[in-house]
Structure 1
Amino acid sequence: MLHIVIPVFNRWAFTRECLLSLRRQTNRNFRVVVVDDGSTDGTAEALAREFPEVTVLHGTGFLFWTAGVNLGIRHALRHGADRVMTLNNDVQAAPDFIEQMLKAAAKHPRALLGALELDADTHAPVYGGEQFSFLTHRPRHLLHVLPPEQRRGLHPVTYLPGRGLLIPATALAHVGLFDEKRLPHYLADYDYTSVARRRGFPVFINYEARLLTYPDESGQEQTRRRRSLRGYYEHLFGIRGGGNLRNFTHFALKNCPAPLVPLFLLNGYARRMVGYFLH
């Protein structure tokens, strides 16, 4: 059975809407595991009151995304999960989201799958997968190159985000869990799917499965909106910093082809140090 792992820290309103969207699924053959990492806004009490069917695991407040997800995955595997999905709490699933993901998984049982993302307010597509070049340091955004009539079915990508990532248990057995030691918050999802792809597990974006997201609510966007010296420091060195140089270095050393590592690192450092002020 599919187990859906959702790490949360506060923001109960988002978590509630996410869980309500899962209740509306056309395929309900799944279990939900919420990892509450020390929320202080009444999340634990509200979960027990409104969603008794959800399994809740409690963290210390210092798990961050990666360790929280790993805690949920371990629980899922102990309880017989044949597939695990990581899902952020600030998304809503279209009613046939699980149905479409499991349909694709049945046809490609070794594949890791992601979903097309739509802006929750406008329903315009905002993310449709990337094919990344380590040489040029530029992603080829499929939404920019695929004509509307080709935005269907599965498309191979270089990596996938963790907000709606379906992982077969066979991949978890071969690749292991997410790298919580070196990538405690950001890039762990891109790293995991990149490693899995190189180990022979296909990585696809599924245009039939749709998630509603809030692009402006990500930690990276909020940090950039509050531009300051402190924000700049957090951007480059904080655990939740979207431009964290340490995390980027680990990602590069693990995933970039060896001959390209020096150029890739220099390019990436420059982008992160300057990009904070340009976006």
Structure 2
Amino acid sequence: MKRTIAVLLTCHNRVQKTLECLEALFKSRLPQKLELNVFLVDDGSTDGTCNAVTKKFPVVNIIHGTGSLYWNQGMRLAWRTAASTSNYDFYLWLNDDTILDKNALSELLMTYEEAVAIDNKAVVVTGACRAIINSTQFSYGGRLNNDEPVIPNGKLQECVFINGNAVLVPNIIFKEIGNLSNDYTHGIGDNDYGLQAINRGFSCYTTKAFIATCPPHVGPPGWCNPDNNINRRWQIFHSPLGLNIKEYKLFRKKFWGKKWIMFVAKAYVRMLFPKLYHKINLFK
């Protein structure tokens, strides 16, 4: 029986990365009777992304954003559009800076099937990404409660937090949870979704092997980087592309209850006094 996957992406002004991501996706080895449909939100790009994608990959469904959607809201639009066109078996979140291996889709589906056989219910599978091609240096994927990365070891491994670089969500879970939360603009939505799944009785797994390459962000986040002055740190602290403290507070309150105060207080201290924070290591 044929299975269908809607691949969801959002992009803004990085045409070369977007094209490289799509090229790797379309070069992937597809398991038999698997059909892909790709939904890409072009969020107001001015670098020719739309025309370039249409020319090279005319099968991609391009959705035009407002120019202010960022990742979470762009992915919500892609998901909403895809779900309105067909009843897909799976949805694959894919970051446009993530380069899939040729066997990535097979690995995601094999991990899913093995995990379902153990759990007897649907699961979410996040793809483990390496920092550099052909390396085993973890960059994104699944993490545990202490933020420790779950390194692929050839065996099934559960995780608590999921990064949205390459995530397989079955339609069963989508029907239960719905779209990514509307509480977030750019980040946090992927972590939120994984925790929602766990709270609903589902499990999150990481792939048994690395399936993609995506370089990590290097150095401390801008909002707590001592090389930035306080005004710059404060700006990034509130920016959708930074910590976005208001949305971070919502996230912490949603899953940690009254403990949110501790998390938010630490964030303010880290932003205001980054050198001191690092020295005393408040996360320990």
Q: Answer whether TM exceeds 0.5 for this pair.
A: yes
TM-score normalised by length of structure 2: 0.84
Structure 1 letter corresponding to 2:87 = G
Contact 1:3 1:31 survives alignment (8 Å): yes
- Corresponding position of 1:194: 195
Per the TM alignment, residue 230 of structure 1 is displaced from its structure 2 partner at its CA by 4.8
- Corresponding position of 1:210: 211
Matched, 1:118 2:130: yes
Q: Distance in 2 between matches of 1:237 and 1:80?
A: 38
Relative to structure 2, which stretch is displaced further, 217-226 or 59-68?
217-226
Identical residues among aligned pairs (%): 22
Matched, 1:43 2:49: yes
Counterparts in 2 of 1:99-248, with a 5 A limit?
99-107=106-114, 108=116, 110-120=122-132, 123-127=135-139, 129-132=142-145, 138-143=146-151, 151-180=153-182, 182-216=183-217, 220=221, 227-241=228-242, 243-248=243-248
**Unaligned residue ranges in structure 1 (runs of 5+):** 133-137, 144-149
Matched, 1:90 2:97: yes
String of CA shifts for 1:219-262, please: whole Å, max 9, x gaps: 95799597344531232101111x22112101101111x35333
Contact 1:114 1:165 survives alignment (8 Å): yes
Distance 1:89 1:251, change over 3 A: same
**Unaligned residue ranges in structure 2 (runs of 5+):** 279-284
For residue 162 of structure 2, give the secondary structure of its aligned residue in structure 1: coil
TM-score normalised by length of structure 1: 0.85
RMSD over aligned Cα atoms: 2.7
- Corresponding position of 1:23: 26
- Structure 1 stretches (4+) deviating beyond 4 angstroms? 217-226, 272-278
Q: Distance in 2 between matches of 1:220 and 1:89?
A: 21
- Corresponding position of 2:5: 2
Q: Distance in 1 between matches of 2:176 and 2:88?
A: 15
Q: Distance in 1 between matches of 2:213 and 2:61?
A: 23
Contact 1:186 1:240 survives alignment (8 Å): yes
